[in-house]
DNA sequence: CTAGTTTATTTCACTGGTGAATTATCAATC
DNA sequence: GATTGATAATTCACCAGTGAAATAAACTAG
């Protein structure tokens, strides 16, 4: 099996070596960047594995969770696209899949009949309440050994990084 | 456009709300987890966008960089699978693509003829040296405002998280 | 009322990645 | 030295997700 630790060792050596060949490279930043990519992908795989027994994939899960988290349990395809960073094409497919399983309903909005109103059903709520708790242990285990201070720091640093990424994105689409 | 900051605001509210409905949830950990997923995906998209003009995708780039970082510039498909966390099937495709562009060569190993030896070509090295520097500004910009201490902390926390993820993976495949 | 814009859906072609079976080689054992 | 089993890479058929373009319906502003 390819342990994350192995990959990291190898990545560290790789960056050192590339840093010798291309000295202008911001090595420390590149390292962080790769770490974020590796960990993000790993967590993604972990989550996907947890969801598979329930015949859900990541974007379907996310969509369902957003609806579940809304006080009125409803949203629109456009809004869901925005927050799940999915294309409209895919959101239609996701909605189709969730409607077929009766976890959500699709209806047209009263005041703007172009809009489609997507709403989580009682069965959808029950489904979330069944699916969610079994993933708590893993989520907790990811942060064993993190002190309260560690969590605060981590949160701060991730949000700071998010801010930088936003700026970086803006200047690419001017 | 869907700014990361917006998604985060929405995620925070969502987790608060779900936390009320399902109180056993480890809210702080779930928040970190989602942050990692969002940032990882964003960095991934950013990288992919930077690579697209060069007709490379993430896994091809990674493969090429590993080869570039090796003192002898060579590896085998199996090893590359391990470090890129790709299936063997996909590695064959990646190698095909890179061979077609003459960035790598494929030859069979002398001492074990099952093994294929993949080696970066001089053109491959030149290609990396051309492609790499233009991404340095972005990589640097991702961490503007990070003090030396911030970088140290961030590195420490990410590696700690990696350790936990490894343990979590082990106990799923016993 | 008309022209233009927004919202959602559908279709199509394409990319990236996966699982199952296949082929070739090696290593071990009888 | 033939047989069995493991390992490395490839091939094939398939799926999920994407981007672009076309369509349709409904809203908005002049």
B58-113, pLDDT tens digit by residue?
999 999 999 999 999 999 999 999 999 999 999 999 999 999 999 999 998 888 88
pLDDT of A108 reads: 81
Q: Is the pLDDT of residue A90 over 60?
A: yes
pLDDT exceeding 90 applies to what percent of chain B? 90
pLDDT exceeding 70 applies to what percent of chain B? 97
**CB-CB neighbors (< 8 A) of A173 in chain B:** 1
SS3 B120: strand
Residue B79 CB neighbours (<10 A): 17
Nearest-neighbour CA in chain B from A104: distance (Å)? 17
Report the nearest residue to nucleotide C9, CA vs C1'.
A92
Rounded to whole angstroms, the Cα distance separating A72 from A119 reads: 8
Rounded to whole angstroms, the Cα distance separating B140 from A30 reads: 8
Residues 151-170, chain B, touching A (beta carbon < 8 A): 151, 153-155, 157-170
Tell me the two tokens of residue A96. 């189709």
pLDDT of A1 reads: 65
Q: Is the pLDDT of residue B2 over 80?
A: no
pLDDT of B173 reads: 52
φ and ψ at residue A7, rounded to 5 degrees: -60, -40
The per-residue DSSP string of B66-94 comes to HHHHSTTSEE-HHHHHHHHT--HHHHHHH
Whole-number average pLDDT of chain B: 94
Q: Is the pLDDT of residue A169 over 90?
A: no
Q: Is A102 on the interface with B (CB under 8 A)?
A: no
Q: Which of B43-47, B106-110, B115-119 has the lowest mean pLDDT?
A: B106-110
Which of B131, B41, B97, B9 lies closest to A45, judged by CA?
Answer: B41
Q: Is B131 on the interface with A (CB under 8 A)?
A: no
Query: Which strand D bases fall within 7 angstroms of a protein CB?
Result: 7-13, 16-21, 24-27
pLDDT tens across A9-41, in order? 999 999 999 999 999 999 999 999 999 999 999
**CB-CB neighbors (< 8 A) of A46 in chain B:** 165, 168-169
Compute the count of residue pairs across chains A and B with CB atoms less than 8 Å apart.
244
The more confidently predicted of residues B169 and B28 is B28
């Amino acid at each position: 099996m390819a342990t994350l630790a192995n990959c990291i060792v190898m990545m560290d050596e790789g960056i050192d070596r590339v840093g010798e060949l291309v000295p202008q490279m911001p090595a420390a930043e590149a390292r962080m960047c790769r770490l974020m990519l590796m960990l993000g992908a790993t967590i993604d795989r972990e989550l996907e594995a947890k969801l598979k027994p329930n015949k859900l994939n990541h974007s379907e899960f996310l969509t369902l969770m957003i609806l579940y988290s809304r006080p009125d349990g409803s949203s629109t395809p456009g809004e869901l696209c925005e927050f799940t960073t999915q294309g409209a094409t895919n959101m239609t497919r996701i909605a189709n899949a969730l409607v077929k399983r009766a976890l959500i309903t699709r209806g047209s909005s009263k005041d703007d009949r172009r809009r489609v109103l997507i709403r989580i059903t009682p069965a959808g709520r029950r489904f979330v309440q069944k699916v969610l708790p079994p993933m708590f242990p893993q989520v907790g285990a990811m942060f064993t050994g993190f002190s309260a201070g560690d969590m605060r720091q981590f949160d701060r640093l991730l949000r700071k990084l998010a801010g930088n990424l936003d700026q970086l994105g803006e200047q690419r689409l001017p």
